[in-house]
Amino acid sequence: MASKLRSTISNLQVLYEDNHLIAINKRAGDIVQGDKTGDTPLSEVTKGYLKRKYNKPGNVYLGVAHRLDRPTTGIVVFAKTSKALPRLNKLFAEKAAEKTYWAVVRQAPEKHEATLTHWLKRNTKQNKSYAYPKEVPESKKAILSYTLRSTLDTHFLLEVALKTGRHHQIRVQLSAIGCPIKGDLKYGFPRSNKDGSIHLHARSLSFIHPVKKEPISIQAAPPKDPIWDACV
């Protein structure tokens, strides 16, 4: 993954910040939290950004409440205080945040809008999930709704609302109806994107602030490329 695709302290795209929260527009090369690759995660980059911005001498607190797949772009919210983190965790666990995603596919879905329900079974060795029409052992119910938002020259933009939060949920459920996401080789798209990304973007997030109790609504612009540019 090219380094220019990763966030750094200098190019970090901050969408929202207050005393308790900071929201970042994640690039496709970013991992949200450290993994076996050893690459610097977005959480550490954001800590470095806060340390420099506020000239903090010691360690910076930052809590991870949710994640996005590495090739996916869009909104990631971190907690800046130990007071906010458990409340943010609860908010996401209880599905009290309204998340909207954009997905670009090359095959138009049969219906312009629909709710999809599958049972997903995760294979940890492959880091992949499989969709089934009925419950199978060790599967979890997955529900999303999509709307066909626009038709591009050779692709289609779907707006997706998640009802559950399962491993690779949007990727596997759209693939299951014959609409794999552009660039997503793992779930059936024939070609990868040159930069290793897939055309899945966490577009908007709305929730009640866990500390201030005020409504918050955040939007993230998709990356700059000809297809995303045609969507905005």
pLDDT at position 35 is 77
Q: What percent of the chain has pLDDT over 90?
A: 88
Q: What percent of the chain has pLDDT over 70?
A: 98
CB atoms within 10 A of CB 118: 25
Would you call 69 a catalytic residue per the annotation? yes
What tokens appear for 111 in the block?
Answer: 């219906």
Q: CA–CA distance from 13 to each of 36, 42, 78 (Å)?
A: 25, 11, 13
Question: Do residues 193 and 201 lie in contact, with contact meaning Cβ atoms separated by under 8 Å?
Answer: no
- Tell me the per-residue pLDDT of 135-148, one tens digit each, with 9 for 90 and over: 999 999 999 999 99
Q: Work out the pLDDT band at 199, boundaries 50, 70, 90.
A: very high
In angstroms, the CA 48 to CA 42 distance is 10
| Residue of 69, 184, 195, 229 marked active site | 69
Q: Work out the pLDDT band at 4, boundaries 50, 70, 90.
A: low
Q: CA–CA distance from 191 to each of 63, 153, 180, 185, 231 (Å)?
A: 36, 18, 11, 6, 20
Single pTM value for the model: 0.94
Q: Work out the pLDDT band at 1, boundaries 50, 70, 90.
A: very low
Judged against a pLDDT cut of 70, whether residue 23 lies above it is answered with yes
In angstroms, the CA 177 to CA 188 distance is 11
